Structure 1
Amino acid sequence: MAATGGAGAAGAVEAADQRDPAPAVTRGIRILGILASAEGPMTLTEVAKALGIAKSSASNLCLALEAGGMVERVPLGFRLGRRSAELGAAYAFQFNQVRELFAVCEASPVLRREVVQIAMLADADALYLARHEGRAHGRIGTPLGSRLHAALSAAGNALLSGLDDDEVRALLAAHPAPRLTSRSTGDVDAVVARLAETRARGYALDEGRSFEGIVGVAVPLPAWAPSDPALAIGVALPADVATREHVSAVGAALRAAAIALTNPLGRDPRG
């Protein structure tokens, strides 16, 4: 039975390859995704098993990716290479708002001290593209390239606030939120109600839904150009300094930063 199952799996992979106009490229992309999700380097055997292909085929793909700098070989196997970081940075710096983030933060008496991040919506996640390192509270916040479910994080709520409620419900029905902390809730009605509060207040608030002891504050950041994605800009604060007054000051500073980072030709003349 095991041999039959293996043959069936191999046949399914072969059939999928026949429908794919560039199977080697598709497999290479899958290898990058697998390594990105791994907790450490993966052996060639593990990569081949994850793809459901022969070890020799996995070896050829990894050698090609290694030659391009996309993966690198280490004693324990393969991991992402520095070229993947270069491409990630190049992707983020396509957007004018990412390039201008650091100057805008340094010009703000409030934001220059804080961890300020820019995120975009990727499926139902907030994907973090850029990070200004404040020095007020040490190293907190979300690493570049990380994702947090949009229903939980402040940046995610700021991004969702630009959608209508039906779009939000459809998105969350397809991608339920995980329970990350004791405060996490993926209940769709609760999320929709929270987004109404976000729109009324002018900024989104995450009081420990993504990380215990961390408060997030974020505002929407309209796309600079029609082809750009909508973004959000937010701050991560330790809960012990996130007083009502400080959160309000951060929210106001973020709104001012969003105005500074909005294309002048696309700004609402009403302010």
Structure 2
Amino acid sequence: MEHQEGQQSITSVVRAFRILETLARLGGEASLSRVATELDMPVPTAFRVMRTLVAAGYARQLPSKSYGLGPGLIRLGEDASQLLGSWARPALEALEQRLCETSNLAMLDGDMIVYVAQVPSRHQMRIFTEVGRRVYPHSTGVGKAILAALPDDRVLDIIRRTGLPAYTPTTVTTESALFEELALIRSRGYAVDEGEQEPGVRCFARAVERVRTPTAISVSGPAARVLPSDSARFVAALESAAAQLREVLT
């Protein structure tokens, strides 16, 4: 009897995490029936788990009767982000020491990219992105590297919810152009941001493979200092850092 109760408790925990992950993937809110359908879960079961998540503050019921992610996740996410940043810092520091440019770690959070750790360049003239900043995936090196690691249907779902807004003249703003670039990233193994988020900035990025949350690492700097001819050196350093991070994140 005790074993059966313990197994039921474990199953409930797994279901709770799956529901939260599904809400995040669906843009932060969805109807109970949509969540149940996505997870192939009976609606009464989804309702019981959701009710527990609402009581704990990790989910909330909206006026529309749909459910959304709750404020309890903010505190949990902040604590987890700080911990993740401390785990990632040695790899990012080694990357900055090797290339003398700003190194970043970013993850997919819902439909957006969030920067979770950074080691700034030692140069006075350097690129700085605040940890916690959220950006659209199509306009950054880390974002495109993450999109390239996802199935095309999921990419399409994301960009049709977010759109493809232009930040600079070089930002990719059409689905066809984005998918063409994602094919190139998949074939060569890394992404490049040619001033697509900020003018005058060049960034090399690659996905950290075989981790649960889509993740990427990048090195960015002024385009006058980070040159296209540097790609081989930068990509080799990124591959080494990604392998180090994979050990930490899996």
Q: Does 1:124 align with 2:101?
A: no
* Residues 63-142 of structure 1 mapped to structure 2, 5 A cutoff: 89-95=78-84, 98-108=85-95, 111=98, 113-136=100-123, 138-142=125-129
Distance apart, 1:176 and its partner CA: 0.4
Judged with a 3 Å threshold, the aligned counterparts in structure 2 of structure 1 residues 102 and 111 are, in CA distance, closer, same or farther, namely farther
1:253 match: secondary structure: helix
Aligned residues: 190
Match in the other structure for 2:188:
201
Match of residue 217, structure 2, among 215, 222, 233: 233
Match in the other structure for 1:35:
none
Q: Does 1:261 align with 2:245?
A: yes
Judged with a 3 Å threshold, the aligned counterparts in structure 2 of structure 1 residues 179 and 252 are, in CA distance, closer, same or farther, namely same
Distance apart, 1:189 and its partner CA: 1.0
Judged with a 3 Å threshold, the aligned counterparts in structure 2 of structure 1 residues 141 and 231 are, in CA distance, closer, same or farther, namely same
Would the aligned equivalents of 1:154 and 1:216 in 2 still touch at CA under 8 Å?
Answer: yes
In 2, distance between residues paired with 1:156 and 1:108?
19
Distance apart, 1:111 and its partner CA: 4.0
Q: Does 1:152 align with 2:136?
A: no
Match in the other structure for 1:61:
none
Distance apart, 1:219 and its partner CA: 0.7
Task: List alignment gaps of at least 5 residues for structure 1.
Answer: 1-20, 31-83, 267-271
Would the aligned equivalents of 2:203 and 2:219 in 1 still touch at CA under 8 Å?
Answer: yes
Would the aligned equivalents of 1:205 and 1:216 in 2 still touch at CA under 8 Å?
Answer: yes
* AA of the residue aligned to 2:177: A
* AA of the residue aligned to 1:125: M
Q: Does 1:244 align with 2:244?
A: no
Task: List alignment gaps of at least 5 residues for structure 2.
Answer: 1-50, 63-73
126-135 or 161-170: bigger deviation = 161-170
2:122 match: secondary structure: coil
Distance apart, 1:88 and its partner CA: 5.5
Q: Does 1:166 align with 2:153?
A: yes
2:213 match: secondary structure: coil
1:261 match: secondary structure: helix
Distance apart, 1:242 and its partner CA: 2.1
2:242 match: secondary structure: helix
Would the aligned equivalents of 2:167 and 2:198 in 1 still touch at CA under 8 Å?
Answer: yes
Would the aligned equivalents of 1:218 and 1:233 in 2 still touch at CA under 8 Å?
Answer: yes
Match of residue 178, structure 2, among 191, 213, 231: 191
- Alpha-carbon deviations, 1:133-166, whole Å to 9, x = none? 2213534132111112101100001111111222
Higher Cα Rg: structure 1 or 2? Answer: 1
1:179 match: secondary structure: coil
In 2, distance between residues paired with 1:245 and 1:192?
24
Give the aligned CA root-mean-square deviation in angstroms.
Answer: 3.4
212-221 or 257-266: bigger deviation = 257-266
1:212 match: secondary structure: coil
Distance apart, 1:102 and its partner CA: 2.4
In 1, distance between residues paired with 2:209 and 2:151?
16
Q: TM-score, normalised by structure 2?
A: 0.65
* AA of the residue aligned to 2:215: L
Distance apart, 1:185 and its partner CA: 2.3
- The percent of aligned pairs where both chains have the same amino acid is 27
Judged with a 3 Å threshold, the aligned counterparts in structure 2 of structure 1 residues 94 and 265 are, in CA distance, closer, same or farther, namely closer
Would the aligned equivalents of 1:110 and 1:249 in 2 still touch at CA under 8 Å?
Answer: no
In 2, distance between residues paired with 1:123 and 1:109?
28
Match in the other structure for 1:17:
none
In 1, distance between residues paired with 2:183 and 2:86?
31
